[in-house]
Amino acid sequence: MTEQAITATVLKERSRLGNFIRRRVADPTDADDILQDVFHEFVQAYRLPEPIEQVTAWLYRVARNRIIDRFRKKREVALADLAGHTDDDDDYHLDLLLPSPDGGPEEAYARAMLLEELQAALEDLPAAQRDVFVAHELDGVSFKEMAEASGTPINTLLARKRYAVQYLRARLQYLYEPE
């Protein structure tokens, strides 16, 4: 791709991509920084021998990733804090790790992305583990209530949830680590 083609792409996509980013990032300065980062990465990518096939889709994917990266840095969610958590702690809920739904467009977007990834990961869990995780984390059902309703021992339910949490941490860890 020539410099003219790169310039034409930047001019063509700048306005729409900028609006896309600004709808998701409340701070205009941060939105402009993300837009600049996306186009910088675009120029760098064209120095590589393999061409970008669908430029517009690539630009939006990079923009989404930069928005999420910015959120990660801002929120500073540390998996190390989760390591000290005990799975039988009834005060612990998944919602504490997710961005606030009332935190503006940036946090709402990041929350939606994280929930989408979580949903996909939950579908991969064995049904027994998924059911316990969903009941405890999302529905707020206590282990005691689950044990009484199902006849399954509490320790079995705790083990199922622990396996689910371990799987989900491993599967979703990339969301919390910078690239």
For residue 28, give the CATH number of its domain: 1.10.1740.10
**More confident: 51 or 22:** 22
149 in the same domain as 124: yes
Over residues 96-129, the pLDDT tens digits come to 556 666 667 777 777 777 778 888 888 899 999 9
Mean pLDDT of the chain: 78
Quote the pLDDT of residue 106: 72
Residue 46 is part of which domain span?
Answer: 3-75
Same domain flag for 97 and 163: yes
Helix axes 3-22, 55-75, angle to 10 degrees: 50
- Residue 70, CA atoms < 13 Å, CB-side half-sphere: 23
Considering the domain architecture, whether residues 90 and 152 belong to the same structural domain is answered as yes
Matching residue, tokens 């792409």: 9
Same domain, 88 and 134: yes
**What is the tally of structural domains in the chain?**
2
Residues 49 and 83 in one domain: no
| 9-20 confidence digits (pLDDT tens) | 888 989 999 998
Residue 123 sits in a domain whose CATH number is: 1.10.10.10
Is the pLDDT score of 28 beyond 70?
Answer: yes
